């Protein structure tokens, strides 16, 4: 994957850029308010213009109410609500479809990345099309989750030729041009792979950034639940079949 020529070098913040902060949300009433507050404070330092796109994946708690209350006095926040739970992929796709800025910064809605790591990784997008985070410290994972994660990443490498440390990382920076016109197949977390496949097809440059993912301060993650794991492997097959038909 090749990068763009003549952009600013790494390690330099350079000019501020327009950023769409996007967050799929499911049952995050304990976290979403703090996440929005942190993003707004961060945006003043790193963004010229910005928006906060939140897509609710049919939450069953008060997540939507929390966002709606904050958005009453903040026109930077754009909330979209799905009527049925999409097992992450639908909410993820909606966020990216609604983003209007030149750079899209995605993170999970429990804000797992520190503002320091975000500030350190932003300059990389000046000389890349995708910046993706991966954990430099493995902690808090069960043996089963490690086995599933390792097996999944190996399968992705074998089936799709992608060499990414953590395909489903909860932190990515993506130039809008990478996903423009893309019709995502996946409704599960496999949608992350589709972004990298699109970047590969367009000969885009991908950079990987080591960081420390913060532990949740509230709520729980649903990403490792059996229905979502099953949906992810189903989407893997769908995408692979689609690629085979095109070739």
Residue 7 covered by a domain: no
For 68-111, how does the pLDDT look when each residue is reduced to its tens digit (9 = 90+)?
Answer: 999 999 999 999 999 999 989 999 999 999 999 999 999 999 99
Residue 95 covered by a domain: yes
Q: Are strands 17-25 and 47-56 parallel, antiparallel or unpaired?
A: parallel
Q: How confident is the model at residue 238 (pLDDT cuts 50, 70, 90)?
A: very high
Max avg pLDDT among 4-8, 13-17, 77-81, 187-191: 77-81
- pTM of the predicted protein model: 0.87
pLDDT of residue 242: 93
Residue 21 near residue 53 (C-beta atoms within 8 A): yes
Task: State both tokens at 132.
Answer: 């993706």
pLDDT of residue 8: 34
DSSP conformation class of 14? -
- Per the structure, the count of domains in the chain is 1
For 48-71, how does the pLDDT look when each residue is reduced to its tens digit (9 = 90+)?
Answer: 999 999 999 999 999 999 999 999
Residue 217 covered by a domain: yes
Residue 117 covered by a domain: yes
Residue 175 covered by a domain: yes
Q: What is the mean pLDDT of the chain?
A: 88
Q: Which domain holds residue 232?
A: 17-246
Supply the CATH number for residue 116's domain.
3.90.550.10
In whole angstroms, what is the distance from residue 53 CA to residue 160 CA? 30
């Amino acid at each position: 994957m090749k990068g763009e020529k003549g952009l600013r070098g790494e390690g330099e913040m350079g000019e501020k850029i327009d950023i769409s902060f996007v967050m799929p949300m499911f049952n995050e009433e304990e976290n979403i308010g703090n996440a929005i507050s942190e993003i707004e404070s961060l945006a003043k330092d790193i963004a010229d213009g910005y928006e906060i796109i939140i897509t609710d994946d049919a939450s069953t708690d008060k997540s939507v109410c929390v966002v709606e209350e904050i958005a009453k006095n903040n026109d930077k926040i754009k909330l979209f609500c799905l009527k049925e739970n999409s097992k992450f992929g639908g909410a993820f796709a909606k966020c990216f479809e609604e983003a209007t800025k030149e750079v899209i910064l995605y993170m999970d809605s429990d804000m797992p990345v520190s503002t320091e790591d975000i500030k350190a990784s932003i300059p990389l997008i000046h000389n890349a099309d995708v910046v993706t985070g991966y954990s430099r410290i493995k902690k808090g994972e069960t043996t089963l989750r490690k086995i599933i994660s390792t097996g999944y990443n190996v399968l992705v490498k074998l089936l799709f030729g992608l060499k990414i440390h953590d395909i489903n990382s909860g932190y990515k920076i993506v130039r809008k041009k990478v996903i423009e016109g893309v019709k995502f197949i996946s409704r599960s977390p496999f949608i992350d792979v589709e972004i990298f496949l699109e970047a590969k097809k367009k000969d885009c440059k991908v950079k990987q950034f080591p960081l420390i993912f913060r532990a949740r301060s509230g709520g729980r993650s649903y990403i490792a639940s059996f229905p979502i794991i099953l949906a992810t492997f189903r989407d893997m097959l769908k995408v692979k079949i689609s690629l085979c038909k095109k070739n």
